Structure 1
């Protein structure tokens, strides 16, 4: 009853669609129970918010690609999907939407790669019988600056640059190697566990669709 009452106060069609899905799924699914978080999140969403959530769902953070052609096909698919709804909103509306979803803990900034390369410099001298490493002060200072920036960005105290391509990395014996890039700017953000749980609650499964 609380869900239906809250849904009746929503004026935006796109958000009403999520309310309808939540009510339908809760009515027919034995595994889903509507909780207060679902209601509070839906009350706080705008049409732009719903467009970004649907673009990021299902999560693609842990998706693996087998070839460059598959990566390119994925980039084309996601860019087309973003053009349909999300990118039709103004730049200002999209910026506000990202901040709102960060506030609701539904999305998070994709962690940046943190590199400590070239911080240590190897020194070898047979004459002096030296075989060791020393810290390179300039590179160490640069590394600390990068780390502080990442901390500030993750906390929301500094703006996060979401225009960069997302590198795809594969772990190997000698460290991670880049296997390609995702060129969809929106994928610089990802769904949090809370966001994933919410989207699962408002997404109609194929099995439910087949059942009417």
Structure 2
């Protein structure tokens, strides 16, 4: 017996797109404003971890919001401008490489999100955080959403703002430290970046010396 082929898409072909449903439910429950929080830069060997908090205007949500990793450079830049022009509140914060080394990347990421939230021009009643952890010390209720940047438009907006700001910071580092190519790899452990570290050494206050390969061997830190 031959089975008829379904016209429904296969599960692995479904691409989840963020929407405003979590925020809408919170609004109906009296929890408004709702802020989305996300960070960029947990994995690189260099540079800060940067976070953003965004309160979108329910009546003016930019089209095309998505997980920043699923967007092109041009799409992120365009949406960054639209978010800043339309959102009710946007705030950014970062923790330096030294701050990351002094604690750990998870704590630094959560602290950056907390600072971003506290910097908003309005006080949210609910904060949605991408991932499994709620930053400690929030001034409101917090809720963690796994793959939140693919589920919540507020978190997606925060992921775009955090990514664009961090990329711009790393591009500036690339102009100051021309041997490393930061503007190309944003501090991630590419072959070019690792080779530059082997030749020129890590840059003080820019490279995360608590990360491998630095903590696996003795390296001479270059003062800028």
TM-score higher than 0.5 here?
no
Range into which the TM-score falls when normalised by the shorter chain: under 0.3
TM-score (norm. length: structure 1):
0.26
TM-score (norm. length: structure 2):
0.25
Structure with the larger helix share: 1
